[in-house]
Structure 1
Amino acid sequence: MSTDTDLIKLYSGRILALAADIPFTDRLAAPTATAKRRSPLCGSTVTVDITVQDGKITEFGQDVKACALGQAAASVVASSIIGRTRAEVELARDQLKAMLKSDAPAPEAPFDGLEVLIPARDYKNRHASIMLSLEATVDAMQQAESA
């Protein structure tokens, strides 16, 4: 069982700062694709809009309704997402999932800022919220390629 001290450590100043300053929080007027992901456990949601040209994200917008950990993840993702391909986003998603569930290292650059969430490994009930932004972005990329 977690102690109050453990939770204070989890919600570090860096995580709270990221959560308070999420880039690209305006939805796009005419996105190539939109995807929404929801964590059934906590109810957190992230809706992502993207514009894609030549297989790369050129515009990004997201609506984030999540805990501070999900917000921090969305902040790191948004700050690194422009110019990324579907393969790069899928790799970041897979590396983040491995970091949380299998004690793997943090995702590679440009998503290496997600290392701030390493302390969340012990809080399995928060993993789904942390994954939302990358999962929604992958879904949107798949939609864009299908269109």
Structure 2
Amino acid sequence: MIDDLYSARILTLAANLPHAGRLTAPEGTGDRTAKLCGSRAIVDVTLDADGRVAGFAQDVKACALGQAAAGVLGEAVIGASDAELRAARDAMLAMLKSGGDGPDGRFEGLRALKQVAAYPARHASTMVAIEATLEAVSQAQGVHAPRTGAA
């Protein structure tokens, strides 16, 4: 089990966490914890005028699988839209739970975690970073929402 799950590729991804830390002035912050193992990701974002991720920082305290997923996410997230992030999350869940191929496009690197599908207890830790990112983006969209009414 250990050799299959913690491959050299997974361990390399886990060791490289792009955009580690926190933003000083985030527009949105997401915080997700995997209840079973305690893996946690806190993500800060800012969005550009088109609603795409412009600024990103992540504070991830997770197992190697959660760290690896966060590493892939951090490499690809700048410029991503909410729709791309949701599609990646949905494809990741399908890969883990029902034999899907996994995300494509900018988040295709998450396919490196395909072997986690055989270990349901590890699914939640693998998802904390992307779920926290979606939460942060949703919050930031509220900051960017057009204001209505008289000024």
TM-score of the superposed pair, with normalisation by structure 2: 0.92
1:39 equivalent in alignment to 2:40: no
- Corresponding position of 2:95: 99
- Corresponding position of 1:51: 46
- Corresponding position of 1:23: 18
Q: Is there any run of 5+ residues in structure 1 with no aligned partner, and where?
A: 1-5
Structure 1 ranges of 4+ moved more than 4 A? none
SS in 1 for 2:85: helix
- Corresponding position of 1:63: 59
Deviation of residue 26 (structure 1)?
Answer: 1.9
Partners of 2:79 and 2:13 in 1: how far apart?
21
Deviation of residue 83 (structure 1)?
Answer: 0.3
In structure 1, which of residues 7, 27, 40 is the aligned counterpart of residue 2 of structure 2?
7
Equivalent residue pairs, number: 142
1:90 equivalent in alignment to 2:86: yes
CA RMSD of aligned residues (A): 0.7
- Corresponding position of 2:70: 74
Amino acid corresponding to residue 12 of structure 2 in structure 1: A
TM-score of the superposed pair, with normalisation by structure 1: 0.94
- Greater gyration radius: 2
- Identity of counterpart residues, as a percentage? 48
Partners of 1:80 and 1:14 in 2: how far apart?
17
SS in 2 for 1:111: helix
1:123 equivalent in alignment to 2:150: no
Partners of 1:43 and 1:19 in 2: how far apart?
16
Amino acid corresponding to residue 102 of structure 1 in structure 2: S
Deviation track 1:50-83 (CA, whole Å, cap 9, x = no partner) reads: 0111201001000000000000000000100000
In structure 2, which of residues 126, 135, 139 is the aligned counterpart of residue 143 of structure 1?
139
